Structure 1
Amino acid sequence: MCGRMALSLPQDAMAQLFNARPANDLPPVPDFNICPTDNVHIVTRADDGPRSLSAMRWGLVPQWYKKPDDGPLLINARAETVADKPAFRDAVRLRRGLVIASGFYEWTKDADGGRDPWYFTRTDGHPLAFAAIWQEWADVDQSRLRSCAIVTTAAKGSMTDIHHRAPVVIDPSDWALWLGEKGKGAAPLMRAAADGVLGWHRVGRAVNSNRASGPALIAPLGDAHAE
Structure 2
Amino acid sequence: MCGRFVNLLPTEAMARLFEAVPGNDLPDGERYNICPTNMITTAVSEDGQRRLRAMRWGFLPHWYKTPTDGPLIINARAEGIATKPAFREAIRSRRCLVPASGFFEWTKGAEGARLPWYIRPADAGPMVMAGVWQDWEREGARMTTVAIVTCAAGGGLEALHHRMPVILAAEDWPLWLGESGHGAAVLMRPSPEGSLAWHRVDPAVNSNRATGPELIEPMADG
Query: In structure 1, what is the Cα distance between the partners aligned to 2:87 and 2:164?
Result: 18
CA distance in structure 2 between the partners assigned to 1:207 and 1:103 by the alignment = 13
Contact 1:201-1:222 at 8 Å conserved across structures: no
In the alignment, the residues of structure 1 paired with residue 19 and residue 195 of structure 2 have an alpha-carbon distance, to the nearest angstrom, of 23
TM-score, normalised relative to structure 1: 0.95
Q: Is the 8 A contact 1:129 1:171 kept in 2?
A: yes
**TM superposition shift of 1:28:** 2.3
What amino acid is the match of 2:196? Answer: L
Distance of 2:169 and 2:6 partners within structure 1: 19
Structure 2: gaps (5+ residues): none
- Say whether 1:159 aligns with 2:161: no
Conserved? CA contact 2:116–2:200, under 8 Å: yes
Q: Which residue of 2 aligns with 1:203?
A: 201
Partner of 1:45: helix, strand, or coil?
strand
1:223 shift after superposition: 7.3
- Residue 95 of structure 1 is matched in structure 2 by 94
Deviations 1:40-64, CA, capped at 9 Å, x for gaps: 1100012x33000111000100111
Partner Cα separation in structure 2 for residue 27 and residue 20 of structure 1: 16
Count residues in correspondence: 222
Runs of 4+ in structure 1 deviating by more than 6 angstroms, as ranges, are none
1:221 aligns with 2:216: no
* CA displacement 1:102-160 (0-9 Å, x = unmatched): 0100000112211110001001111111000000011022x211000000000125311
Which secondary structure does the structure 2 equivalent of 1:174 belong to?
A: helix
**Equivalent residue letter for 1:21:** V
Partner of 1:192: 190
2:68 is matched with 69
Is the 2:155–2:196 Cα contact (8 Å) retained in structure 1? Answer: no
The one-letter code sitting in structure 2 at the alignment partner of 1:156 is G
Alignment pair present for 1:147 and 2:145: yes
> Which residue does the alignment assign to 1:182?
180
Give me the whole-angstrom Cα distance separating, in 1, the residues matched to 2:178 and 2:221: 39
Measured in 2, the distance between the counterparts of 1:194 and 1:53 equals: 27
Letter in 2 for 1:213: T
Matched-pair contact (CA < 8 Å) for 1:95–1:134: yes
Contact kept in structure 1, 2:155 and 2:191, CA below 8 Å: no
User: What value does the CA root-mean-square deviation take over the aligned residues?
Assistant: 1.1
Normalised by the length of structure 2, the TM-score is 0.97
Measured in 1, the distance between the counterparts of 2:197 and 2:215 equals 16
Structure 1 residue ranges without an equivalent (≥5): none
Contact in 2 for aligned 1:8/1:30 (Cα 8 Å): yes
Residue identity in the other structure for 1:196 = G
Q: Distance in 2 between matches of 1:178 and 1:11?
A: 21
User: How far does the alpha carbon of each residue in 1:161-200 deviate from its partner, in whole angstroms, 9 at most, with x for none?
Assistant: 1100000001001001100000101100000011111111
Return the letter of the residue paired with 2:19: N
Give 2:115's aligned residue.
Answer: 116
Amino acid at match of 1:192: P
Equivalent position to 1:173, from 171, 175, 183: 171
Q: Aligned equivalents of 1:201 and 1:222: distance in 2?
A: 10
Code of the aligned partner of 1:16:
R
Contact preservation (8 Å) 1:201, 1:223 = no
